[in-house]
A and B are shown apart, each in its own frame.
Chain A
Amino acid sequence: MIGVLVVAALTWPGPRVAVDQLTGTVRTEEGRPGASAAGLAALEHVFRLAESLGGRALAVTIGPPQADEMLREALAAGALHVLRVEADPADDEAAARALLSAVAEHHGPPDVVVFGDDSGAVPGYLAALTDAAQALGLLELTADGGVLGGLRRLDKGRRERLEIPLPAVCSVEPVLRPRRAGLPAMLAARNTKIPVVRPDVPQHRFPSGPVKATAPRAYRPRARIVPIPAADRAIDRIVALTNGLGANALATGGSATVVTPPDAAAAADLVIEYLTEHGYLGDTT
């Protein structure tokens, strides 16, 4: 194998989960075939990187036989190789291991892997597995002198530029339209047999697991000591204590209130009622 291996990891739009509004029944529905916009942007980035780096472009996906169509279009658009991997797409770590195993076995270790930014935690796991640089959610991805350059959004409209050494795992936003395959290439790709790999990947290695929830229990705030209100009558002291929730509330006249409305509409009613009562809204009737 010669040259840099640049891999476009396309996400197959697997079944989506839908909840029946009437019955609450959860069901799964098959997604429509074809790569997502982010996946197509990743493919285009891979083509450009392969051209810049003088490397080979590989398109790979984890998906069922229906995903062959997507890979044929990648082939027609300019991918040198394609590969379909059969693995569990729901387990991000297993998916990353399967992708790595399949690509390494058939084409050698990848130098750059580009995902769409809708790929969940798979890029992160892959970067960890390969000890590669990781740059996710990129707007731009270019190659200059064997080093990748990336542009990423920051808060408040700012951008940051990244220098990304190889090997690298990147993901890109769907801001780049993919090139259109020529008709002769499309026709040639139609009858291409797509290679399929079922990698035998080891069990999970990373020790971490999902966030664990403890058993639910009632909310019982810790007791706090508040100063005795300065009032002559006992009832005034009780009122002063029970109208406020804490020392600050008492000190400022005590207007904080904890309410537990049953739903959002009731909560909205309470807020409006409170604001009206305190003269913020005027007469809304």
Chain B
Amino acid sequence: MPEHAGPGTTSTVVAATPQRAVDVVVVGAGPAGSAAALEVARAGHSVVLLERGPYPGSKNVYGGVVYGRVLDELVPRWWEQMPVQRWVTRRSTMIMTPTQALTVDFRTQAWAGPPYNGATAHRSDLDGWLAGLAEKEGAVLVPSTVATGLLRDTAGAIVGVRTDRPDGDLTAKVVIACDGVNSFLAKEAGMFAGKPTGHVTLGVKETLRLPRSVIDERFGVAGQDGVDIEILGCTRGIPGGGFVYTNLDSLSVGVVVDPHGLAGKRLRPEELVADLKRHPAIEPLVRGGELLEYSAHLIPEGGYDTMPELVGDGFLVAGDAAAMCLAAGIWLEGVNFALGAGMYAGRAAVDALKVGDTSKTGLASYRRMLDESFVLADHRKLRRVPGLVLGQRMQESYPAMLCDLAQGLFHVDNPQPKPGLLKLVRRTLKRHGIRTRDVVSDALTGVRSFG
């Protein structure tokens, strides 16, 4: 399984003494890592937060909305200090073909004030803020430092990390791997053994500058209100979807696609973004935008069944490293799961340190806390959804069928009388070669999956 082959290194065995340099090493200063470091530091333990980029957030990409509710447990009245671009008050789901678009648009001003719901943010600001909270509590952030491998004792327990700096070994009682998708540390620790491969998608995004007033006008919002549009049917049949969301004075537009599908069609991801920007439903929104940034990142969208083992001897895995990104059709979330998992990992490490047992048994409360929280409950409940939404019918046939159905419904074809709805549905299904039994089957799967 080459995708789980890891970095090609084996852990370094050290003659570790019971004395460690620090209590906890957290690898990766993203939302999961900073939340973990914050919890550990608050409990009064020494914690080092390693970040491979020059500053937190410099290597991160996300494609939508940060749902901050889980922060209630970490940062009281977080909304007063979190670096937010816009609070999302308008959430649209758009289904499109190359010439059509059908949108379900919802907006509520209930999300425009405390305690809010979701927000758009720049990751460099958000991650920097979270890491800053951990630093204020005593965590030591070390940027531009890559954890290149694990240190183990002679019994195989993980006792620290090796970094790419001179004299770069750092021993710790607990290592929390929050090193993102394709986690080399989790692979090296053997946490992915026996897990299915091929579960990542590729997200690509352009950030386009537009004056704030133009964004307000085009998206029908004011003040710090914002819009998030999730799109299905914009990827030339490659499993995936698209998105457009508003920042304060810029827009982010992009697609998330299966890299194997992309390779199969010999397409480059930026071609899909260009397609999306040219679409008649999107072009008026992004017109004249000045390209500020192009970014790309892998996303662990495989869901519950592709998650690695989460607990080892002296070792925890959280966030994208643990495939905790939820891609369940109408719910596309990642940062909140990372925050939750990091927070619970930090608490589990503190529990283990308190009783002096950082073995797999001593750290087992992590799995229990995740099971009892939304982090694993949501993933478990929605475990079948990724397969459903990434299927051919959901990606190609249904968007075209629904757009044609809407067009048939609203098209006035006088002197012909209006067709009956059932007749219209049957005719549209037939035109798209969709069997009724498939629709019923998918509907049942959807009902079962979404609960």
Taking a contact as CB atoms closer than 8 A, the residue among B166, B168, B170, B210 that contacts A22 in the complex is: B210
**With A34-B54, A187-B142: A20-B211 Cβ-Cβ less than 8 Å:** yes
Given contacts A21-B290, A183-B163, A187-B48, contact A34 B55 (CB under 8 A): yes
Q: State A181–B167 Cα separation when bound (angstroms).
A: 9
- Chain B: residues with Cβ within 8 Å of the partner, total of 24
Query: In the complex, which of the residues A20, A22, A182, A190 contacts B140, with contact meaning CB atoms closer than 8 Å?
Result: A190
Taking a contact as CB atoms under 8 Å apart, the answer to whether B165 and A180 are in contact is yes
Residues of A within 8 A of B166 (CB): 180-183
B342 to chain A, nearest CB (A): 21
Task: Chain B residues near A23: list those with CB within 8 A.
Answer: 211
Question: Residue A186 at the B interface, CB < 8 A?
Answer: yes
Q: Which residue of A lies closest to B168 (CB)?
A: A183
In the complex, what distance in Å separates the CA atom of A181 from the CA atom of B168? 10
B59 to chain A, nearest CB (A): 13
Q: State whether B211 touches A25 (Cβ < 8 A).
A: yes
Known: A32-B55, A183-B165. A190 touches B211 (CB 8 A): no
Please give me the residue from chain B that is nearest to A181 by CB atom.
B165
Nearest-neighbor residue (CB-CB) of A73 within chain B: B144
Task: Judge whether B55 and A33 touch: CB under 8 Å.
Answer: yes
Q: For B11, what are the chain A residues with a Cβ–Cβ distance below 8 Å? A: none
Assess A182 versus B290: contact at CB under 8 Å? Given A23-B211, A190-B142.
no
> In the complex the two chains form, is B288's CB within 8 Å of A22's CB?
yes
Q: Which residue of A lies closest to B165 (CB)?
A: A183
The CA-CA distance from A186 to B209 in the complex, in Å, is: 37
Interface string of A58-86 (1 = CB under 8 A from B): 00000000000100010000000000000
A-B contact pairs, 12 of them (CB 8 A): A22-B214, A22-B288, A32-B54, A32-B58, A34-B55, A182-B167, A182-B168, A183-B145, A183-B166, A183-B167, A186-B142, A190-B140
Please provide the chain A residues from 151 to 186 with a CB less than 8 Å away from any CB of chain B in the complex.
Answer: 180-184, 186
A252 at the B interface (CB under 8 A): no
A23-B211, A190-B142 as given contacts; A182 in contact with B54, CB under 8 Å:
no
Check A191 for interface membership: any CB of B closer than 8 A.
yes
B184-215 contacts to A, CB under 8 A, are 209-211, 214
Q: How far is the CA of A187 from the CA of B288 in the complex (A)?
A: 47
Q: How far is the CA of A183 from the CA of B209 in the complex (A)?
A: 39
Q: Which residues of B contact A187 (CB under 8 A)?
A: 48, 140, 142
- CB <8 Å contact, A184 and B167: yes
A21 to B291, CA, bound (A): 11
Query: Which residues of B (112-169) have their CB < 8 Å from a CB of A?
Result: 140-145, 163-169
Contacting pair B145 A186 (CB below 8 A): yes
- The complex places the Cα of A78 from the Cα of B69 at a distance, in Å, of 44
Cα distance A69–B144 when bound, in Å? 12
Q: How far is the CB of B415 from chain A (nearest CB, A)?
A: 48
What is the chain A residue whose CB lies nearest that of B292?
A18
Give complex CA distance A34, B290 in Å.
Answer: 26
Q: Is the CB of B170 within 8 A of A183?
A: yes
Contact, CB under 8 Å: B165 / A20: no
9 additional A-B residue pairs with CB within 8 Å, beyond A34-B54, A186-B165: A22-B211, A25-B211, A32-B55, A34-B55, A69-B55, A180-B164, A187-B48, A187-B142, A190-B140
Taking CB as reference atom, which chain A residue is nearest B135?
A: A190
Interface mask (A168-212 → B, CB under 8 Å = 1, otherwise 0): 000000000000111110110011000000000000000000000
Report yes or no: B168 in contact with A20, Cβ–Cβ below 8 A.
Answer: no
Interface residues of B in 203-249 (CB under 8 A from A): 209-211, 214
Q: Chain B residues with Cβ under 8 A from A20's Cβ?
A: 209, 211, 290
- With CB as the reference atom, state the residue of chain B lying closest to A186: B142
Q: Which residues of B contact A73 (CB under 8 A)?
A: 144
Q: Which of A27-44 contact B (CB under 8 A)?
A: 32-34
A20 CB to closest chain B CB (Å) equals 7
Say whether A33 contacts B54, CB under 8 Å. Answer: yes
Closest residue to B128 on the A side, CB-wise?
A33
CA separation between A79 and B297, bound complex, in Å?
Answer: 36
With a cutoff of 8 Å between Cβ atoms, the chain B residues found around residue A69 in the complex are 55, 143
Smallest distance from the beta carbon of A56 to chain B beta carbons, Å?
Answer: 22
A187 to B214, CA, bound (A): 47
Contacts of B164 in A (CB 8 A): 180
CB-CB under 8 A from A25, the residues of chain B are 211
Residues of B within 8 A of A22 (CB): 210-211, 214, 288, 290
Closest to B214 in A: A22
CA distance A190 to B46 in the complex (A): 13
Q: For B214, list chain A residues within 8 Å (CB).
A: 22
Contacts of B163 in A (CB 8 A): 183
Bound-state CA distance A34–B58 (Å) is: 12
Chain A nearest CB, measured from B340 CB (Å): 28
Pairs A-B, 6 closest by C-beta atoms: A182-B166, A183-B165, A182-B167, A183-B168, A190-B140, A21-B290
For A27, give the chain B residue with the smallest CB separation: B249
Complex Cα distance, B164 from A60, in Å, reads: 26
Q: Which residue of A lies closest to B54 (CB)?
A: A34
Chain A residues within 8 Å of B48, by CB:
187
Complex Cα distance, B51 from A34, in Å, reads: 15
- A182-B209 in contact (CB<8A): no
Inter-chain CA distance A25–B209, complex, in Å, is 12
A 246-266 to B, binary, CB cutoff 8 A, 1 in contact else 0: 000000000000000000000
CA distance A153 to B143 in the complex (A): 35
CA distance A275 to B58 in the complex (A): 52
In the bound complex, how far is the Cα of B166 from the Cα of A181, in angstroms?
7
Q: Which residues of B contact A32 (CB under 8 A)?
A: 54-55, 58
Bound: A181/B144 CA distance, A = 10
Give complex CA distance A9, B108 in Å. Answer: 53
For A184, the chain B residues whose CB sits under 8 A away are: 167
Q: B165 and A182: CB pair below 8 A?
A: yes
Could you tell me the distance between the alpha carbons of A25 and B213 in the complex, rounded to whole angstroms? 13
B139 to chain A, nearest CB (A): 10
* Chain A residues with CB under 8 A of B170: 183
Which A residues from 215 to 269 make CB contacts under 8 A with B? none
Instruction: List B contacts of A190 (CB < 8 A).
Output: 140-142
Please give the distance in Å from A233's CB to the nearest CB on chain B.
58
Q: What residues of B have a CB within 8 angstroms of the CB of A180 in the complex?
A: 164-166
Q: Which of B140, B165, B214 has the most chain A CB atoms inside 10 A of its CB? A: B165
Taken together as a complex, chains A and B put the C-alpha atoms of A183 and B211 apart, in Å, by 44
CA distance A25 to B212 in the complex (A): 12
Closest-by-CB residue of B relative to A184 is B167
Which residue of B is nearest A22, CB measured?
B288
| A29: min CB distance to chain B, Å | 10
Chain A residues contacting B55 (CB-CB under 8 Å) are 32-34, 69
A207 to chain B, nearest CB (A): 42
Give the Cβ gap from A188 to chain B, nearest Cβ, in Å: 10
For the complex, give the distance between the alpha carbons of A23 and B167 in Å: 52
